[in-house]
Amino acid sequence: MVNSVQNQPQIGLRLYNTMTRKKELFRPLKDNSVKIFTCGPSIHQPVHIGNFRIFLFEDILIRYLEYIGYKVEHAMNLTDIEDDVVFEANKKGIDIKALINSAADNFTKESALLKLKPSTYNPWASNNVDQAIKLIKILLKKGTAYRYKGDVYFDPSKFPGFGKLYGLDMNLWPKKKKRFKKDNYPGLRWNLGDFILWHGCRDGERVFWDEELGYGRPSWNIQDPAMATKYLGFEIDICCGCFDNLFCHHDYHLAIAESVSGKTFATYWLHAKDLYVYGKKISKSTGNIVHLGDLLKDGYEPEHVRFYLIYSNYHEKMNFTKKDFENTIKKLNELRELVKELMEQDSYGKKSDENANSLIEELVPKFEECMNNDLDVKYAIDEIFETVSELINLKREGRLTKTDCNRVLTELRKIDEVFQIIFNE
């Protein structure tokens, strides 16, 4: 941490809030503390680099908030009982834990390799069914939810302003009652109808809880708000996720939490665009899934992958190709070589150039100016690269002293508290 929050420049951190569709000055609900909920992975299969693109954007956000002086309380859930997981376990006739433990362990290891900061809380959906039931019971009592043939559904018409995050036109809502029983419907952007909260147990199902709601399990729709509210409460500062969460998921999340509490759930909503691979959305059917392990086997470093995935505007869709990946990481390799040259002790000058001091003093302010502009990581790195290049030219000409170089390294270490790409320590 280099600055206290109270000493931040007037402009401060500005973030693009999906709810208001504009950049807003970030102001926490409570003093210097920030509560953030981020949608974690479904852990029945390995996490790919498209998932990590989202998680790394969130990691940069959290690290930068801490850098400017906030204490961050972060919850990232692990989804282990959604439809896809349950159906796979039932089909194979195995315990759900046996199916997901390997994927969960792999996610933890790869997150560490990519230097994702550990969350304050990493709740598993299966360990928090009690909170899901608690919320459903409140919704039933309020009449926002209802039972139907052993299931429980949420009626969006009972929540004023439903779809406000996405900007859903409720005039499109069907007049005739429709119910959507599955957790999600791939290819269908919006389910215009009542959505499921509790799956009543069907014949042959192996994953269920014997609860007062009946034999069954909580739907994906209730799992995230259950974990978010259990660990962070009903009023948080920021909720993050991928752009696809804007279709149904985050509005479901918001409607459930606010129906229960009557309070605004999240002040800021941030969404990152997807990573495509060779121009197509990542999917099994396309066969274009790329995992971190694939790139490591090709000889790349975890920092190369981290750099590639953060060196962009998170609002813009990325398109991975091997050529683009290799061209991008050259920038990191060049920056590291420049930093290595700064450390070499046989070429220090005896006297500083008159421009050296101003260049060194510009490093951190330029970084903060870019980051305060809605986390503009790419521009921040480009500015750092340009300034360090100028300083290296002075060093090569014998116009940068040992003291100057040490000051540069000190400033770069401050910056790398957020980026985690320059120093392998």
Q: How far apart are CA 362 and CA 357, in angstroms?
A: 9
Same-domain check for residues 240 and 365 = no
Average pLDDT rounded to a whole number, residues 77-93: 81
Q: Is residue 425 part of a domain?
A: no
H helical segments located in 125-284: 129-142, 220-232, 249-261
Q: Is residue 327 part of a domain?
A: yes
Going from the C-alpha of 147 to that of each of 188, 259, 326, the distances in angstroms are 24, 17, 54
For residue 124, what are the β-bridge partners?
A: 78
Mean pLDDT score of the chain: 92
Same-domain check for residues 218 and 345 = no
Same-domain check for residues 359 and 265 = no
What is the per-residue pLDDT for 100?
85
With CA atoms as reference, report the closest residue to 359 among 392, 327, 330, 337. 392
Same-domain check for residues 247 and 159 = yes
Model pLDDT for residues 360-408, shown as the tens digit of each residue: 999 999 999 999 999 999 999 999 999 999 999 999 999 999 999 999 9
- The enclosing domain of 357 has a CATH number of 1.20.120
Same-domain check for residues 214 and 348 = no
What is the per-residue pLDDT for 89?
74
Same-domain check for residues 249 and 384 = no
Q: Is residue 316 part of a domain?
A: no
Q: Is residue 290 part of a domain?
A: no
Model pLDDT for residues 195-225, shown as the tens digit of each residue: 999 999 876 666 778 888 989 999 999 999 9
With CA atoms as reference, report the closest residue to 179 among 193, 192, 162. 193
Q: Are strands 214-218 and 209-211 parallel, antiparallel or unpaired?
A: antiparallel
Same-domain check for residues 47 and 170 = yes
User: pLDDT-derived band of residue 187, with 50, 70 and 90 as boundaries?
Assistant: low
> What domain count does the chain have?
2
Q: Is residue 214 part of a domain?
A: yes
Q: Is residue 294 part of a domain?
A: no
Average pLDDT rounded to a whole number, residues 148-155: 95
Percent of the chain with pLDDT over 90: 77
Q: How far apart are CA 269 and CA 249, in angstroms?
A: 13
Q: Do 304 and 298 form a contact (C-beta atoms < 8 A)?
A: no
Average pLDDT rounded to a whole number, residues 409-420: 97
Q: Do 24 and 41 form a contact (C-beta atoms < 8 A)?
A: no
Q: Is residue 125 part of a domain?
A: yes
Q: How far apart are CA 242 and CA 378, in angstroms?
A: 19
Q: How far apart are CA 46 and CA 107, in angstroms?
A: 7
Model pLDDT for residues 229-255, shown as the tens digit of each residue: 999 999 999 999 999 999 999 999 999
- The enclosing domain of 138 has a CATH number of 3.40.50.620
The one-letter code for the residue type at 204 is: G
Q: How far apart are CA 190 and CA 188, in angstroms?
A: 6
Same-domain check for residues 47 and 155 = yes
Q: Do 85 and 99 form a contact (C-beta atoms < 8 A)?
A: yes
Domain boundary among 281, 305, 331: 281
Q: Is residue 310 part of a domain?
A: no
Domain boundary among 217, 249, 281: 281
Same-domain check for residues 154 and 205 = yes
Q: How far apart are CA 312 and CA 324, in angstroms?
A: 12
Same-domain check for residues 366 and 240 = no
Same-domain check for residues 177 and 260 = yes
Domain boundary among 281, 303, 333: 281
Structural domain boundaries enclosing 65: 5-281
What is the per-residue pLDDT for 425?
65
Same-domain check for residues 114 and 253 = yes
